[in-house]
């Protein structure tokens, strides 16, 4: 799998979560928060088993897969099968720019059997919202298990700032202007 980055977060879903940003997205949503994840050039190549072993090094309640677009990774189904077997109490959340009715190839469709929450749809800048996990009001949330309740995804959007190897990383849902953040030297994920 082509990975942009991974981190531990408390603002990308309920509980202490392992967040995996995939590298590659064909959507190109206007004012996307993660445009560095669009290109499909190799960044950090990890097998699904290597990702699973990384996750096992952390105490997490759940996993959030975002990007880029995780459904554009050829081995996402294999990864989801491995992660599903962890039986994490706060489940697996998957973000995709595809609407649920666009998820029509069998491999992508099978992914829905191994996640607890799907947040679908392209980010629409003119429909930006400032609460919950959705970035814009046109996106939908689908619940496939009872591990995550609807009210757990209705919260004020927050950000986390981490410093790693003298680089500043921001994750979550900032309201701040991207240019302002770049001028501060923040590397946006």
pLDDT tens for 76-89 read 999 999 999 999 99
Pairwise CA distance, residues 86 & 128, whole Å? 34
pLDDT of residue 23: 97
Residues 67, 95 contacting (CB under 8 angstroms):
yes
Query: What value does the mean pLDDT take over residues 3-31?
Result: 92
Q: Return the percentage of the chain with pLDDT > 90, whole number.
A: 66
- 62 contacts 15 by C-beta, under 8 angstroms: yes
Q: Residue 58's pLDDT is what?
A: 95
**From residue 2, how far is each of 85, 166, 183 by CA, in Å?**
22, 24, 28
What average pLDDT does range 11-23 have in this prediction?
93
DSSP for the chain reads: -EEEEEEEESSSSSSSEEEEEES--S---TT-S-GGG---S--EE--HHHHHHHHTTS--SEEEEESS-GGGSTTHHHHHHHHHTT--TT-EEEE-SS-GGG--SHHHHHHGGG-SEEEES---GGGB-SBSS-SBTT-EEEE-SSSS-GGGG-SB--EEEEEETTEEEEEE---S-HHHHHHTTEEE-
Kindly report, residue by residue over 154-185, the tens digit of the pLDDT: 755 555 566 666 666 656 555 545 555 566 56
**Do 109 and 97 form a contact (C-beta atoms < 8 A)?**
no
72's CB contacts (< 8 A; 6+ apart) are: 22, 24, 25, 26
Domain ranges across the chain? 2-156
> Beta strands 17-22 and 44-45: pairing type?
unpaired
Residue 115 has pLDDT above 60, yes or no: yes
pLDDT band for 10, please (50, 70, 90 cuts): confident
The model's confidence at residue 94, banded by pLDDT at 50, 70 and 90, is very high
pLDDT at 113 over 80: yes
Output the pTM of the full model. Answer: 0.83
Superfamily of domain 2-156: Aldolase class I (3.20.20.70)
Work out the average pLDDT over 1-30: 93
């Amino acid at each position: 799998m082509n990975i942009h980055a991974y981190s531990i977060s408390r603002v990308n879903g309920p509980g202490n979560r392992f967040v995996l940003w995939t590298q590659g997205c064909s959507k190109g949503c206007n004012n996307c928060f993660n445009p560095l994840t669009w290109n499909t050039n190799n960044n950090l190549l990890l097998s699904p088993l290597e990702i699973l072993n990384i996750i096992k090094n952390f105490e997490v309640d759940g996993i959030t897969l975002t990007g880029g677009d995780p459904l554009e990774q050829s081995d996402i189904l294999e990864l989801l099968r491995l992660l599903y077997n962890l039986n994490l109490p706060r489940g697996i959340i998957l973000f995709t720019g595809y609407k649920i009715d666009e998820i029509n190839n069998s491999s992508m469709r099978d992914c829905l059997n191994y996640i607890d929450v799907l947040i679908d749809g392209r980010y629409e800048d003119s429909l930006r919202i400032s609460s919950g996990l959705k970035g814009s009001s046109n996106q939908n949330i689908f619940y496939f298990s009872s591990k995550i309740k609807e009210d757990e995804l209705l919260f004020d959007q927050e950000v986390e700032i981490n410093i790693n190897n003298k680089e500043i990383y921001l994750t979550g849902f900032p309201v701040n202007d991207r240019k302002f953040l770049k001028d501060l030297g923040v590397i946006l994920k």
